[in-house]
Structure 1
Amino acid sequence: MKKASLVVAAAIAAIHATGVQSQSAGGYPARPVRIVVPFAPGGNVDLVARALAQRLPEGLGQQVIVDNRPGASGLVGTHLVAKSAPDGYTLLAMANTFAVVPSIMANPGYDPLKDFMGVTLTCLVPQVLVVNTALPVRSVKELVALAKARPGEMSYASAGTGGTGHMAAELFNRHVGVKMLHVPYKGNAQAIIDVISGQVTMMFDQVSTSAPHIKAGKLRGLAVTSRKRSPLFPQLPTIDESGAPGFEDITFNGLAAPAGTPREALTRVHAEVAKAVRIPELRNRYLEMGVELTASASPDDFTAYIKAEFEKKAKLAREAGIKME
């Protein structure tokens, strides 16, 4: 009886040891992963992060928690992740402003190239060039001709200095050789209202937020900023094909990790995101909102993407004199 008990005990110990070894061999992640969203709930960065947080646990085998840390145009949450342990358990959900802010702010408190490593893209969202319906233009070529005929008289709205709409408009001005007055707002809603009312001539806006106004005839869409047409407005050409060859300025979302994060963690999260964004039901649901879910080829590829975006926008900021107070 005693011998049998010893055999059972030995067997249980062996099973336990095997379980521990398997868990260890499985490596990352061994506990829940947190995605910090540096903006309030409800925006595109938040919605995409939450969609992924629902899908990733199936492949990772651990819960994924979304933690909203808004404040100071995204700086609060970004600083939090930059100072977190580089272990793969705290990730940052970010957008274009992550790469733009350090080029227009004197002391942003982080360096996107030194303090972070790219994990993967999560989505691409084109912007649409919209104008007040009373403006006598129906194409990008006509808009450029009118702006050149009225130098400095035409204006464009944006949700704020350094935002995606502001940077896209300044890039457009330089690309086609026109000069328009920038009218910054504290948020997107009032900017759209003033373009609709005619207080401001035009703006670059996310296709998703301008779509209802374009469909209702309150705004006129001229073209999208991506290299390919938007599923939301297949009839709208790209700016590239509308007389401004080579123009592209697309909004992106992605995941980044603190510098020094183990490659195992980066590649594991990247692989699971790549699987999630290919799920037809999820992909189609976001395409209907003008959002293309996608993943980078690799973490290194996304790090290079961030670097290229930072350098492109830093050059634009210097040339246009864009500074955030």
Structure 2
Amino acid sequence: MPGIHRRTLLQLAAGAAAAPALAAPAAAASWPDQPVRFICPFAAGGPTDVAARLVAEAMSGVLPQRVIVENRTGSGVVVGTEVVAKAANDGHTLLYSTIAHAVLRPLFSSLSFDPVKDFQPVALVGTIPMLLMVNNAVPAKDLRELIAMFRDKPGQYNYGSSGAGGAVHLATELFLRQAGRLKVNHIPYRGSAPAMPDLLNGNLTMFVNVASDGIASVQRGATRALAVSGAQRLPQLPDVPTFAEAGLPGYEAYTWHMLLAPAGIPAETLARLNAAVNQVMRTPALQQRFSDMSIQPRADSTPASATEWLQGEIAKWEPVVREAGITAN
């Protein structure tokens, strides 16, 4: 398990085991009667995979069966998502996904499943804000000056993303639209890491990066952060204002982690799953590990609130994808 220390896993299991045992409604008493699979449609060792494994390991301490993570990648997140859409709805096969789930319909013209009708959200696990970063040669000292710079010279600056249709791309396009439909050239990369050298050397003017991937470069002075996309400032960068504080009220953007089940999962099993997720998300060890990854952990999500969140994200991001003409690679 890349990036996960054995000590951390032992702490998670111990914390989860110390929590009160889950009450099992009679109709769900036999669940789980086999290992529970988290299908992660992202590559092993990446931040989503690491978070999924932390949650799975902690849940293994509160359920009578192990929870394992299976990476199923391909066509963005389509391959892994399809596995869960077509799985038995008995609570043994679940999807651990992100904001990518909210934009499947506009990105892919043909899907063998419906991202909404074929899934039942179990719980929102955590949210991750983003940082608007610029290279140190950019003369703009704050967000207002950057917007003015883009407005004065449309089409003469570049921004990078970690891939077309990803969270970074979406968040940047939303910013450009809310700031007055600014025209800045998009340069997609295969992940955040390849984009960073071009931000440092000036080939990119701006990069709205996931906070967990951008904090270190700001802390060491290699780049400057002008705003954070969440509702609150980041504790690691207390001097960086939110977009609202920096002059763009109403702008918020996150990537996020959510656990989803196939539609039609029995209500009792859904309730037990949700309780297990919230139970482990309340353990200090898991909360600390998530915070270390700049993921804001959630321990209060219900299936209803997770469904409401997903519906809101779909309503927010689908128009951005369509208006920007974003298509899947």
| TM-score, normalising length: structure 2 | 0.88
**AA of the residue aligned to 1:283:** Q
Deviation at 1:310, TM superposition (A): 1.2
Report whether the alignment pairs 1:79 with 2:82. yes
Q: What residue is the counterpart of 1:155 in the other structure?
A: 158
User: Where is the helix percentage greater, Structure 1 or Structure 2?
Assistant: 1
Bigger Rg, structure 1 or 2: 1
Report whether the alignment pairs 1:53 with 2:64. no
**AA of the residue aligned to 1:114:** K
User: Is the alpha carbon distance of 1:191 and 1:108 closer, same or farther for their aligned partners in structure 2, counting shifts above 3 Å?
Assistant: farther
**AA of the residue aligned to 2:56:** A
Report whether the alignment pairs 1:175 with 2:189. no
Secondary structure of the structure 2 residue equivalent to 1:240: helix
Distance in 2, Cα, partners of 1:118 & 1:298:
9
Q: CA RMSD in A?
A: 1.7
**1:245-324 matches, cutoff 5 A:** 245-324=249-328
Distance in 2, Cα, partners of 1:169 & 1:248:
11
Distance in 2, Cα, partners of 1:84 & 1:42:
25
Q: What residue is the counterpart of 2:22 in the other structure?
A: none
Q: What residue is the counterpart of 2:9 in the other structure?
A: none
Distance in 2, Cα, partners of 1:25 & 1:207:
39
Structure 2 unaligned blocks of 5 or more: 1-24
Distance in 1, Cα, partners of 2:301 & 2:70:
26
Report whether the alignment pairs 1:227 with 2:231. yes
Secondary structure of the structure 1 residue equivalent to 2:37: strand
Deviation at 1:245, TM superposition (A): 0.4
**Structure 1, 172-181 or 285-294: larger mean CA deviation:** 285-294
Secondary structure of the structure 1 residue equivalent to 2:171: helix
Deviation at 1:238, TM superposition (A): 0.7
**1:208-247 matches, cutoff 5 A:** 208-247=212-251
Q: What residue is the counterpart of 1:201 in the other structure?
A: 205
Give yes or no for contact 1:232–1:288 (8 Å, CA) kept in 2: no
From 43, 46, 64, the equivalent of 1:43 is 46
Distance in 1, Cα, partners of 2:97 & 2:91:
16
**AA of the residue aligned to 1:113:** V
**AA of the residue aligned to 2:201:** S
Distance in 1, Cα, partners of 2:96 & 2:289:
20
Structure 1 unaligned blocks of 5 or more: 1-21
Distance in 1, Cα, partners of 2:303 & 2:105:
21
Give yes or no for contact 1:133–1:219 (8 Å, CA) kept in 2: yes
Deviation at 1:286, TM superposition (A): 2.2
Secondary structure of the structure 1 residue equivalent to 2:89: coil
After TM superposition, the runs of 4+ consecutive aligned structure 1 residues lying more than 6 A away are: 22-25
Report whether the alignment pairs 1:184 with 2:208. no
Distance in 1, Cα, partners of 2:300 & 2:101:
17
- Deviation track 1:125-161 (CA, whole Å, cap 9, x = no partner) reads 1110001110011211111111111112121100111
Distance in 1, Cα, partners of 2:154 & 2:299:
41
Distance in 1, Cα, partners of 2:137 & 2:118:
47
Deviation at 1:232, TM superposition (A): 2.1
**Structure 1, 267-276 or 278-287: larger mean CA deviation:** 278-287
Indicate the percent of aligned positions where both proteins have the same amino acid: 39
Distance in 1, Cα, partners of 2:243 & 2:260:
30
**1:105-116 matches, cutoff 5 A:** 105-116=108-119
Give yes or no for contact 1:157–1:200 (8 Å, CA) kept in 2: yes
Deviation at 1:296, TM superposition (A): 4.9
- Deviation track 1:22-44 (CA, whole Å, cap 9, x = no partner) reads 99772322222111111111122
**AA of the residue aligned to 1:311:** A
Secondary structure of the structure 2 residue equivalent to 1:72: coil
Give yes or no for contact 1:229–1:236 (8 Å, CA) kept in 2: yes
Distance in 2, Cα, partners of 1:210 & 1:302:
27
Deviation at 1:231, TM superposition (A): 2.0
Distance in 2, Cα, partners of 1:109 & 1:131:
40
- Deviation track 1:45-85 (CA, whole Å, cap 9, x = no partner) reads 21111111111123222211111112221211111111101
Deviation at 1:288, TM superposition (A): 2.5
Report the number of matched residues. 304
Give yes or no for contact 1:126–1:226 (8 Å, CA) kept in 2: yes
Give yes or no for contact 2:28–2:269 (8 Å, CA) kept in 1: no
Give yes or no for contact 1:103–1:310 (8 Å, CA) kept in 2: no
| TM-score, normalising length: structure 1 | 0.89
